[in-house]
A and B are shown apart, each in its own frame.
Chain A
């Protein structure tokens, strides 16, 4: 931390107060000099400019902070950042309001009044940790480890790993995040299942190639359910602007006319929740017009494989050709195809395309010994057959000619790619949409090519052996630690040998946590992140069965703004005995539910290395520090230490918790990431280490699947077949046994998951719903990230209340005028917003951002509320079945509502002057040392 000038607090405050008073009365200071400390009078203002990164959203743009005598006074983007190039958006600039907000909590708080009130008692850290540990240990002593659970926030949340591993340390299976199945997990996991590598998300930095100005090959990009210009404005938004300026064509699939849609060559305003129909129409068009990359589809996907109609799995050569000896190793099975060279069904061994003994037919139906086998391609083709452009227009509300224009742009390019955003994760189609998006890029051969979206980076992506895919945690980290889970791409013998090397008691303990995790039987895709199924957790809390989670450690902001059907969660809070929170300020969730809150550092205070930008890694610095706030992983670490002191030994897995216990640990971890010997060294010579750069020639790698590896074959992909599997066989095995996650102990089967994209009409459909005739979807606005920054006065001045974007034709039918207050109702409840009339949404569609109102519990309010019922779209969202089959995703977008005239809710602020109480007040807080 930069050194501050030595002065007394009294003299600093005296001088500040005087300056403030003079400004208030408009008086000049010249005739009003007063005595002060000589040291302060003699000292110059110390100004420093330090490297840091903005954590206003998930992408973490490099920035500079200007610090005067320990107070951060200015933020600006770092022009050396390769994609954001010096940009900093409103979310980042808001940090000055957040860091010094009067809403900050600087000390541990214990509830003094009832839940639902804003009455707190400041307590010491020792007392807070002891209280938390006592509640946790006594509850677990009474009811067992499953009585404990943790939760975390969504994308950009610091504590993802900590929340996941804290229950492990306590032998509990329960953790969740309102994102997860509803944000990123489906896309992340489906990419692993389908081809064992990076997914199509821009927000999460899986897709970086379009912004690669080193090779600069992206000609065409489809933003499917993503709006980077809003969600990650300074980095991906800037990247999109530069990309378009370089001549790249874009298609945007979004019910809302987003800023990216405004600039797109074609905008497809798909009816919310019907993306699968649109995807299938693209498949049909591509198949019918033979626009796919035939060679890639034949030799690098499993679409030519014949599928056994009984098992739904690709037929292995040995099944139909018992005497066949495959030339490939045991970890690379040979399958069966219809060979166009011999016009017969033949074994199809893995090889380089040009060395293949067969020319496989992609679309075929064959009868063998009275049994009819279709190729996976044929199955897909038949699935897509009904989806003519006209049918897609009727169902998806997008004109047929526009769909055609979009597909042509996508297929005409030498290289293109789809970036698949979060919207599809929030529907029952959460697995099917990524299946479709990945499948399209695969049949087009847009994989591992310069300019496409499905790329892998740096030298570690260049294989030397047969690629494999690890499961259970990121890159299989928990499988490597606890010995549960198969490595896909290893042979059965290799997997068996690997698993046997682990201690059986640790395996048994981990496996039991997998099996007992709530909701796992039906939604096994959640194993990818070790998360529980949120509605099932809620039900368990409500009913107490099959066990009651009753001590809760939450590591996020406002659960009541983010959880689907928020009221249903509010109703079960009384069943939770003790709720611990940690955050830099109090939110609705803390007001309504928390019993203890630990104060956290803001991003200007917390050292971190998080996301990268292309081939560069940057530092999030400790620019200042106030109060007794701590870095995000410390409270849980300290509480666990106390639990261990009480018990003697933690009951869970070891190593269990993966997080830091002290600020020194945090700082050393950051130094290690940037390859500095120590934090002090990093601070003394920051420019030497920041950014950490991987040479472009090493970072940008392509065609990894064609590299010949140790077995003499091209590497291929980390799947069982060693090919891209748009017909996702792993989904079938997963549904039936929990493979690969639960290997070697099979989990109980559920209904089969669909291995290909299939159309699902949303459960709440505007088609035929006379009571709630409109369909609602949501998305971001550039001012806020998830539940953050609703306290930032300048941002609220620009966007004080949520817009309800509505087509003028629909508004006219309802007698609603522009910016009029309306009531929006669903089957779950009703909220308020202001109608924003725009052609940017289809008739019959409304769009509304998540919102909550921290002003509702301001001291000035006569009747305080917690601010989550008034304008919060998650009052409306749907958290009951049907869920997405693989991940259990519920429906945050694409459910039905009605809109009628309404009124401004009490307690919420709209006019700029009303937000004055939110203006920063803590700049005079002294800088403080580390607490731990």
Chain B
């Protein structure tokens, strides 16, 4: 998703009107266009609905690795060789401090029905169950040369549901009083990665931090804003807090004459 592609997910029409709902619909269209033909209804014996539920559970229960899961599902919307996926994962900023291996994440998604695995022989032909019939374990191992993975229908729906553009827009819409602070912070993280201490200094004395949390009676810490922006995938930690492509795209869209 590049800056030049901003117009693809924030329709000009929507920006002109300031209509974020339409902008969100445009996100949906974009994802649908990228969906391709989709995969089989039943995966690993699970229905599409069951897979969706499992995937949502993974996203909910693994906040620290959520973006890794998301990006794998996005990446595998085209069929991908396993080594390529693993190499790709290793480049994600979020992976640097992940507690599990790339293959663990792939397997987790596969077991939940978000990815489907296809075994290939040396000629890159699919090794179907019929071809394995009558073969022993060793023979099967000899036959299977590689694996490719593809995002399932349930996986694609999950991608759509967690689209960062949607998340960013929903975040900014959630508490209007904080919107400006989020935007300022995103802008602050635009050019170079920012350490937490820099963010703390940037927000020091800011009105947004004066909000008193009801439960604790305490004012907010700067990490609250970082956490929310990160959850929306507007920023990412890569040696410091830096804007993501989606976050950058939002700011560009905001600054565009159409906005």
Q: A146-B221, A577-B63, A577-B64 are in contact. Are A546 and B216 (CB under 8 A)?
A: yes
Does residue A544 face the partner (Cβ distance < 8 Å to B)? yes
Min C-beta distance of B208 to chain A, whole Å: 12
Question: Could you say which residues of chain B place their CB within 8 Å of the CB of A595?
Answer: 99
- The segment from A346-354, A421-429, A517-525 found at the interface with B is A517-525
Q: Is A457 an interface residue (CB 8 A)?
A: no
Contact yes or no, A141 B218, CB < 8 A: no
Cβ contact within 8 Å between B218 and A144: no
A651 to chain B, nearest CB (A): 10
Interface size for A (C-beta < 8 A) is: 40
Q: Which residues from chain A contact B226 at a C-beta distance below 8 Å?
A: 142-143
Q: Is A575 an interface residue (CB 8 A)?
A: yes
Residue-wise, chain B 205-228 has the 8 Å CB interface mask toward A (1 for contact) of 000000001011111111110111
Please tell me if the beta carbons of A135 and B99 are within 8 angstroms of each other in the complex.
yes
Q: Please encode chain A, from 519 to 563, with 1 for each CB lying within 8 Å of some chain B CB and 0 for all others.
A: 101100000000000001001100111111010000000000000
Contact A138 B216 (CB under 8 A): no
Q: How far is the CB of A589 from chain B (nearest CB, A)?
A: 15
Interface string of B187-220 (1 = CB under 8 A from A): 0000000011000100000000000010111111
A115 contact from B61, B104, B219, B228, Cβ within 8 A: B61
A782 to B216, CA, bound (A): 38
**Interface membership of A574, Cβ < 8 A:** yes
Q: Which among A114, A135, A522, A574 is the interface contact of B97 at CB below 8 angstroms?
A: A135
Residue ID in chain A nearest B199 by CB atoms: A144
Interchain CB contact (< 8 A) of A540 among B99, B100, B215: B215
Instruction: A540 to B99: give the CA distance in the assembly, Å.
Output: 24
In the complex, residue of chain A having the shortest beta-carbon distance to the beta carbon of B220: A546
Would you call B147 an interface residue if the criterion is a C-beta within 8 Å of the partner chain's C-beta atoms?
no
Known: A114-B108, A135-B99, A544-B228. A142 touches B220 (CB 8 A): no
Q: Inside 8 A of A550's CB, which chain B residues have their CB?
A: 64
User: Quick one: CB contact mask for A141-173 with B, threshold 8 Å, 1 for yes?
Assistant: 111101100000000000000000000000000
Closest to B217 in A: A521
Within 8 A of B (CB), among A77-124: 110-112, 114-115
A516 within 8 A of B: yes
A134 in contact with B97 (CB, 8 Å): yes
Give per-residue flags for B167-200: 1 if the beta carbon is below 8 A from chain A beta carbons, else 0: 0000000000000000000000000000110001
User: Which residues of chain A come closer than 8 Å to B195, judged between CB atoms?
Assistant: 141
| CB nearest to A145 among chain B residues | B196
Nearest-Cβ distance from residue B171 to partner chain A, whole angstroms = 12
Q: Measured between alpha carbons, how far is A522 from B237 in the docked complex, in Å?
A: 35
Q: Is the CB of A748 closer than 8 A to any CB of chain B? A: yes
Closest chain A CB from B35 CB (angstroms):
27
Inter-subunit contact B64/A578 (CB<8 Å): yes
Which of B217, B221, B224 neighbours the largest number of chain A CB atoms within 10 Å of its CB?
B221
Residues of A within 8 A of B108 (CB): 114
Smallest beta-carbon distance B92→chain A, Å = 14
Which range holds the interface residue count of chain B? 20 to 34
Report A799 CB to chain B, min CB distance, Å. Answer: 34
Q: Given A147, A539, A543, A574, which contacts B62 in the complex, CB threshold below 8 Å?
A: A574
Residue of B nearest to A576 (CB): B63
* A760 interface hit (Cβ, 8 Å): no
A574-B224 contact in complex given A135-B97, A141-B196, A519-B216, C-beta closer than 8 Å: no
Please tell me if the beta carbons of A578 and B99 are within 8 angstroms of each other in the complex.
yes
Partner of B61, one of A111, A114, A146: A114
Q: Give min CB distance, A170 to chain B, whole Å.
A: 13
**Distance A536 CA – B213 CA, assembled complex (angstroms):** 10
- Whether A548 and B227, one on each chain, are in contact in the complex, defined by CB atoms closer than 8 angstroms, is yes
| B99 pairs with A131, CB closer than 8 A | yes
Closest to A521 in B: B217
**Cross-chain contact B64 with A545 (CB below 8 angstroms):** no
- Asked if B97 contacts A138 (CB within 8 A), the reply is yes
B61 adjacent to A144 (CB under 8 Å): no
Give the complex CA separation of A138 and B223 in angstroms.
14
CA–CA, A596 to B100, complex, Å?
Answer: 11
Determine whether the beta carbon of B223 is less than 8 Å from that of A147. Answer: yes
Q: Is the CB of B221 within 8 A of A521?
A: no
Nearest CB on B from A748, distance (A): 7
Q: Does B60 have its Cβ within 8 Å of any Cβ on chain A? A: yes
Structural contact, B216 and A518, CB atoms closer than 8 A: yes
Q: How many Å from the CB of B137 to the closest CB on chain A?
A: 23
Q: In the complex, A536 Cα to B214 Cα: how many Å?
A: 10
Q: A-facing mask of B59-101, CB < 8 A → 1, else 0?
A: 0111110000000000000000000000000000000110110
Residues of B within 8 A of A147 (CB): 223
Q: A141-B196, A142-B237, A748-B217 are in contact. Are A547 and B223 (CB under 8 A)?
A: yes
User: CB-CB < 8 A to A536: which residues of B?
Assistant: 215-216
CA distance A146 to B64 in the complex (A): 17
- Chain B residues with CB below 8 A from A522, complex form: 217
Q: Please pick, from A135, A140, A518, A577, the residue contacting B218 in the complex, using a CB distance under 8 A.
A: A518
Q: Compute how far the CA of A140 lies from the CA of B228 in the bound complex, rounded to whole angstroms.
A: 16
Bound form: Cα–Cα A147–B241 in Å? 16
Question: Chain A nearest CB: distance from B195 CB in Å?
Answer: 7
Asked if A545 and B213 make an inter-chain contact with CB atoms under 8 angstroms apart, the answer reads yes
Residue of A nearest to B108 (CB): A114
Question: CA A548 – CA B195 in complex, angstroms?
Answer: 18
* Known contacts A141-B195, A143-B223, A548-B223; is-contact A540 B216 (Cβ 8 Å): yes
Q: Which residues of B contact A573 (CB under 8 A)?
A: 61
Residues of B within 8 A of A578 (CB): 64, 99
Contact A547 B196 (CB under 8 A): no
Beta-carbon contact of A574 and B227 below 8 Å: no
A135 to B97, CA, bound (A): 7
Partner of B220, one of A139, A545, A574: A545
In the bound complex, residues from chain B placing their C-beta under 8 Å from that of A545 are: 213, 215-216, 220, 224
Within the complex, the shortest CB–CB distance from A490 to chain B, in Å, comes to: 30
One digit per residue, 1 when the CB lies within 8 angstroms of any chain B CB and 0 when it does not, for chain A 490-532 equals 0000000000000000000000000010110110000000000
Q: Are B60 and A574 in contact (CB under 8 A)?
A: yes
Question: Does B220 lie within 8 Å of A547, measured CB to CB?
Answer: yes
Provide the bound-state CA to CA distance between A141 and B96, in Å: 13
CB distance from B18 to the nearest CB of A (A): 28
Residue of B nearest to A596 (CB): B99
A539 touches B97 (CB 8 A): no
Residues of A within 8 A of B104 (CB): 112
Contacts beyond the supplied A112-B104, A142-B241: 11 A-B pairs with Cβ under 8 Å: A114-B108, A138-B96, A138-B97, A138-B237, A139-B97, A144-B221, A518-B216, A521-B217, A545-B220, A546-B224, A548-B224
A to B CB contacts below 8 Å, 12 in the list: A112-B104, A114-B58, A141-B237, A142-B226, A144-B223, A545-B215, A545-B216, A547-B221, A547-B223, A573-B61, A574-B61, A595-B99
Q: CB within 8 Å of A: which residues of B?
A: 58, 60-64, 96-97, 99-100, 104, 108, 195-196, 200, 213, 215-224, 226-228, 237, 241
Give 10 nearest A-B pairs by CB, closest first. A577-B64, A547-B221, A138-B97, A521-B217, A539-B215, A574-B61, A546-B213, A143-B223, A546-B218, A545-B213
